[in-house]
A and B are shown apart, each in its own frame.
Chain A
């Protein structure tokens, strides 16, 4: 087995798939612009870009987890919990909150969310619970904490004005703070994925966990870190969403685990692990985001969205099989020649 050759081959496959997906993004963009003229207006594009920033943020670490072969179903629950806790911590005391300064509330809420992420890592890596089961459990726990914190509805009154900054701050006429945060996080994850040993090890673990272990990768530590990051980013996403809304709503973040999975798979990450890129996920989020946006423009009720997404995801999986299969056949022919 020639290690170098194998690696080179894997990268090129991945690159090709990302390219395919980027092409798909452009095609979707063009098609939508033709069928729905309202799509290409500046105001609408601004919506698409800014509305999907939060999903990109949470999907980054989940992509890496999926590459290692693990799921994180708890992100939606953590998003709800992060927003509610942050709102509750800085809500004034007469309104039933903790009355802490916003900065403290922000940090405490992120710490709590990171704690859930740590618990995910602990359950999966230490106790050997399958990640699906562990994160299903913590999803319920985090959602429960959100419900308790908001007494089943919202933390709204007596929240300081600064609470609304992180989700609503604008730069110029197009950019918002969530989008800027998204760009920074994507760059950071892209750097980690492509330029660091940490990133390389993620692919190793996903391709063959035993081989990774034998070659000295600290699998447990690696995956723990990813779960913790996932908790942190979900918390951040929750705070941004709550800030946009101006309140901590315990029902925010439902379906996020589904949306993240759709975007990640659409972005070319293998459901079996070992393959995928964060840039692909960004593309996936925006393909889905543009499609949902156009459905909205056409006035379709939001209930149709999961149905469309379901079809898209199954289509994407089949399409990727075809694309990869095509590549394999092509390669076989090359080798035979």
Chain B
């Protein structure tokens, strides 16, 4: 039982510490390599964070509802491949993105079907989907790597292009931020997600159609992952079936570092935004510090564990 004062103190700490972590990463990387503060232009950071952020926000709502999506990495790679294929065929980029998003939506629908309707544990259902979709992406690309040759010139626009000095990716980020903050704070879906994650049985007893809502969250996450995949492929100029490897880890780190509970019932889209920036700054910082990509696996694994542990400590300290 907390007093009201305790509650607000708790929420202040919980909402602020992620910014502290972000600041610490900034300081550390600047100390290692003074170029860091000036080096990556803001637009580079924005372009890097865009795919991760667009996916992390719906995945946060999903995790708040007590579910996980391990297939986002493959949806990302798959939709990049789809976009490149369509672009190769002469389609305009925005149409290709739209189609990729619809396919991502379909994949999310199947995830939802497996989890909500067939009642398969979300870890297993989405783990299976991850490898199935990876196989599909590999079949589509065959042995052609890199899988973008002779695509439409507007292929790179959404990932790298600029409009009036602002990276195009900014608009995707802003749209995602607005949509998912509104969804979390103002919509029934957001409110019920907390109820479902907090106590699924109780939520069902009080008349919430938990299965349907979780299904919807999977559909939204699938579509968002597809858009993220287009952003990522467009930024790199390459669509590669294996480009999603490790992406689910980034998403989960971004969400958990923002203090969202893996068990569900607790979390915040806003803190996941900061979490996504933390992961991107970490990636850019390690690259700029000249750390070989092999080491990044170790660092990210360690950061994931540290994030979970830190969250646990904070919750314990603040609640006593």
Contact = CB atoms under 8 A, between A and B. Distances in A.
Interface stretch (B116-124, B164-172, B174-182): B116-124
Interface in A133-171: 133-134, 136-145, 147-148, 151-152
A255 B132 CA distance: 11
Nearest to B304: A137
Given A133-B262, A301-B139, A255 B131 contact: yes
A310 B127 CA distance: 10
B294 A127 contact: no
B131 A309 contact: yes
A133 B134 contact: no
A261 interface: yes
> Counting chain A CB atoms within 10 Å of each CB, which of B114, B123, B246, B299 scores highest?
B123
A143 B304 CA distance: 15
A141 B262 contact: no
Interface centre among A132, A137, A141 (most CB of B within 10 A): A137
A133 B308 contact: yes
A314 B294 CA distance: 34
A122 to B, nearest CB: 10
Contact of B139 (A73, A261, A303): A303
A144 B139 contact: no
B312 interface: yes
Contacts of A182: none
B305 interface: yes
A258 B135 contact: no
Interface string B125-145: 001111110111011000000
Interface string B69-88: 00000000000000000000
Contact of B301 (A132, A140, A261, A271): A140
A258 B131 contact: yes
Per DSSP, chain A at the interface is helix
A169 B297 CA distance: 34
B262 A143 contact: no
B298 interface: yes
B52 to A, nearest CB: 16
Most buried by B among A134, A142, A313: A313
B301 A141 contact: yes
A272 B123 CA distance: 11
B256 interface: yes
Contacts of B300: 140
A129 B308 contact: yes
A318 interface: yes
Contacts of A305: 135
A303 B241 CA distance: 11
Contact of A133 (B129, B252, B293, B297): B252
A141 B248 CA distance: 15
B227 to A, nearest CB: 24
Contacts of B248: 136
Contacts of B302: 137, 141
Given A147-B294, A303-B135, A314 B127 contact: no
Interface string A13-28: 0000000000000000
Contacts of A262: 128
Contacts of A151: 294
Contact of B305 (A129, A143, A272, A304): A129
B127 A258 contact: yes
Contact of B295 (A138, A148, A255): A148
A307 interface: yes
Contacts of A89: none
Interface in A108-134: 123, 127-130, 132-134
Nearest to A255: B131
A304 B304 contact: no
B305 A145 contact: no
B297 A141 contact: yes
B139 A136 contact: no
Contact of A313 (B128, B136, B138, B139): B128
B131 A306 contact: yes
A87 interface: no
Contacts of B130: 258
A106 interface: no
A148 B124 CA distance: 29
B204 to A, nearest CB: 17
A147 B132 CA distance: 25
B219 interface: no
B309 A127 contact: yes
Given A127-B312, A301-B139, A303-B138, A310 B298 contact: no
Interface in A258-309: 258, 261-262, 265, 271-272, 301, 303-307, 309
B64 interface: no
Contacts of A71: 123
Given A133-B256, A133-B308, A140-B304, A148 B294 contact: yes
Contacts of A258: 127-128, 130-131
The 10 A-B residue pairs with the shortest CB-CB distance, nearest first, are A144-B297, A140-B301, A144-B298, A141-B301, A147-B294, A310-B132, A306-B135, A137-B304, A303-B138, A306-B131
Interface of B: 68, 114, 118, 120-121, 123-124, 127-132, 134-136, 138-139, 246, 248-249, 252, 256, 262-263, 292-302, 304-305, 308-309, 312
6 contacts: A129-B308, A134-B308, A140-B301, A144-B294, A152-B292, A258-B127
Given A261-B127, A309-B131, 13 more contacts: A127-B309, A132-B68, A133-B262, A137-B308, A140-B304, A144-B297, A147-B297, A261-B124, A272-B121, A303-B138, A303-B139, A307-B135, A309-B132
